[in-house]
Amino acid sequence: MAAARLRRRRIRGRSVAILMGVVMTTGGGAALAAGGGSTLLHRGSHGSTIAAVQRALGIPADGVYGPVTRRAVIAFQRAHGLIVDGIVGPQTLGALGLSGGSDGSTSDGTSTGSGSTGSSAELQKIAQCESSGNPSAVSQDGTYRGKYQFSRETWRELGGTGDPASAPVSEQDQMAAKLLATQGPSAWPNCA
């Protein structure tokens, strides 16, 4: 059963990669956000644009494109006669009354604005390695929590309160940036 799930996940991942390749090579009306281009938002994306999409869809706005968001996007696309692919591109954004990528976020949630630094790209890689970018992730033994898999002790040392996995994404990002600035990528030895 687990092998079948893994096989489906691999096939789904390949399908998304192939679809993204086709869209990018054929022009498909959109390109990944980069210096003013449109944004393609899909499962795994996160950031303020996803939160805006979620608000427009009337679902809880956590800023993470997960299964609930995907189902809502597909239902919206069906109801509005759009291409039903679960990907929020320019047409879906327009139908939602949102502009494509104007807030400075890319599909992976990193900023394209002037405040962007190399550390944000590094934090993105760490988050993907640690939790697949899931801000509410908890390790199997419960020790490591949140997008960057903080221990509760490290979280408190950085000035955080409560459970890192329950903290807003922006707070987790700030704490991770603080930790990266003081300890470097070695703070995440499994991902360095």
Q: String of b and e for 149-168 (b: at least 16 CB within 10 Å)?
A: bbebebbeebebeeebbebe
> Is the confidence at residue 131, as pLDDT, over 60?
yes
Q: What is the mean pLDDT of residues 22-29?
A: 34
Alpha carbons 49 and 10: distance in angstroms, whole number = 27
How far apart are alpha carbons 165 and 137 in whole angstroms? 6
Q: What pLDDT is attached to residue 67?
A: 93
The pLDDT value recorded for residue 39 is 60
Q: Are 47 and 62 in contact (CB under 8 A)?
A: no
Q: To which residue do tokens 């760490």 refer?
A: 126
Contact 165, 136 (CB under 8 A): yes
Interval 160-189: pLDDT, tens = 999 999 999 889 988 988 888 888 888 898
Q: What is the pLDDT of residue 92?
A: 85
Q: Which structural domains are found in the chain, ordered by start? A: 2-95 (1.10.101.10), 118-187 (1.10.530.10)
**What global pTM score does this model have?**
0.42
Percent of the chain with pLDDT over 90: 28
* Length of the chain measured in residues: 192
Question: Are the beta carbons of 186 and 176 closer than 8 angstroms?
Answer: no
